[in-house]
Amino acid sequence: MGLILSIDRRIAESTYQLKTGNWNKALFRRSKGVKGRTLGLIGGGNIARQVCKAARAFDMNVLVASKSRKPGLDQ
């Protein structure tokens, strides 16, 4: 989830720009946010369940592709 948020906030790009001496605040404050976006998970193991729980805490839609049905992913 941390990587998803850093992509949304463009943290790596803004850090690089800052290190090179450029700072375009207007460009980097425009993040779309993750609320209402859809996250696709492949597999239904323990990690997928935890990521699913975290994504739902951010009000994201979660789609899961798994061979087996596991509790905690179908809610």
Q: Supply 28's token pair.
A: 């980097």
27 and 8 part of one domain = yes
Structural contact between residues 37 and 60, judged by C-beta atoms closer than 8 angstroms? yes
Q: What is the domain count for the chain? A: 2
**In whole angstroms, how far apart are CA 56 and each of 4, 24, 29, 37, 74?**
13, 32, 24, 10, 12
14 and 27 part of one domain = yes
Structural domain including 24 reads 1-32
41 and 69 part of one domain = yes
39 and 75 part of one domain = yes
Phi-psi region of 33 (alpha: psi -120 to 50; beta: other; left: phi over 0): left
Q: What is the pLDDT of residues 15-74, one digit of tens each?
A: 898 899 988 777 777 788 899 999 999 988 889 889 999 999 999 999 988 887 666 565
Taking the model in full, what pTM does it have? Answer: 0.72
21 and 41 part of one domain = no
56 and 26 part of one domain = no
